[in-house]
Amino acid sequence: MKLYIQYDKAKTQQALRYHFISRNEVKILLILVNVFAVFSAGLYAFKVIRPTPFLLSSLLWFLLMLTFWFWLPRMIFNRSATFKDKIDMTLREDDILLETERGYTTWSYKKFRYYMESPNFFHLYIDDKTFFMIPKDACVGDADTIEVRRRLDEKIGRK
C-alpha cells in the first residue's frame, strides 16, 4: 500500500498537542496545577491567603497551557524537516519504505513498540517520546484508512 504524505501545519500541530496531553507526566502535572489553582482560589475567596498565591497558580496554569497548546507544537513543527518534506510511504509486508527527495530508508515493523490513533493521524511510537506520524489525509477514502489501521494492528499493535 502506497501513501503520499504531506503535512498540514494546523492538523500536525493539533496531533502534537494530542501527543503531549496524552503523556502521563503531563496529565499529572496539569491535574496538580489545577488542584493548586482551585485550592488557592478557595483560600483567597475566604480571605485565608493574600492574592499572590492565587495569582501565582493562575500564572502557572496559563504558562502550562501556552507551553503545551501553542509553543511546543509550533516549535517542533518549525524545527522538524520531516514536516516540510513530501514523503512517499509504502507499507510493505515486512517493513515500511519512506522515500523523499533526499533519499530513502526502510523501517522494520519491529522498530515500533506501539501505535496510537488521533483524529487526523496514526502515531507510530519507537519509544515513549520518539514517533512518526502518518496523516489520515494521505489515505484515499475510508477503505485506505481501514487498511492502514488493519496493517498497523497486525504488524505493530496498539498501546
The phi and psi torsions of 136 (rounded to 5 degrees) equal -70, -20
The average confidence (pLDDT) of the chain is 91
Q: CB neighbours of 158 closer than 8 A, spacing ≥ 6?
A: 114, 115, 116, 117
Taking residues 90-100, what's their average pLDDT? 94
Instruction: For residue 44, name the pLDDT band (cuts at 50, 70, 90).
Output: confident
Domain ranges, residue 119: 2-7+81-155
Look at residues 60, 79, 98 and tell me which one is the last residue of a structural domain: 79
In this structure, how many other beta carbons lie within 10 angstroms of the beta carbon of residue 3? 19
Q: What is the CATH number of the domain that holds 126?
A: 2.30.29
Q: Are residues 39 and 94 in the same domain?
A: no
Cell numbers describing residue 71: 509553543
Taking residues 74-90, what's their average pLDDT? 94
Q: Are residues 100 and 70 in the same domain?
A: no
Q: Are residues 121 and 69 in the same domain?
A: no
Q: Please give the angle made by the CA atoms of 140, 156 and 73, to the nearest 5 degrees.
A: 65
What are 119-142's pLDDT values in tens digits?
Answer: 999 999 999 889 999 999 999 889
Structural domains in the chain (count): 2
